Amino acid sequence: MVLERCSIMVNGKVCPYPPSHIVSVQLEKEEYMIGLVCSKHILLMKQKAISLQKLGKITNGKINFQKIKPVMTDCVLNLKK
């Protein structure tokens, strides 16, 4: 399951747009999800992640943005007969 909204807050307001990318930090063979972001806020999220890395609040590593791919299955849609 994915959150319904982007993880970014701007001027104290939660972004109303649905997420389009998973944001993660990769360090060697491990990868950690740090948020979900809409396409409008990718640059802002990258800047925030870099800032948090400099402060030592998240792992130093490569910041990745992976497009969310929706998947539909019978069990999710409850179409089993």
What is the chain's pLDDT, residue by residue, as a tens digit (81 residues)? 567 889 899 899 999 999 999 999 999 889 999 999 999 999 999 999 999 999 999 989 999 999 998 776 666 555 555
Nearest of 33, 36, 34, 32 to residue 4 by alpha carbon: 36
Q: Which residues pair with 31 in a beta bridge?
A: 26
Q: With the C-alpha atoms ordered 75, 19, 3, 32, is the resulting torsion angle positive or negative?
A: positive
Which DSSP string corresponds to the chain?
Answer: ---SS-S-EETTEE--SPP-EEEEEEETTEEEEEEEE-GGGHHHHHHHHHHHHHTTSS--SEEEEEE------HHHHT---
pLDDT, residue 43, reads 95
Instruction: Judge if pTM exceeds 0.95.
Output: no
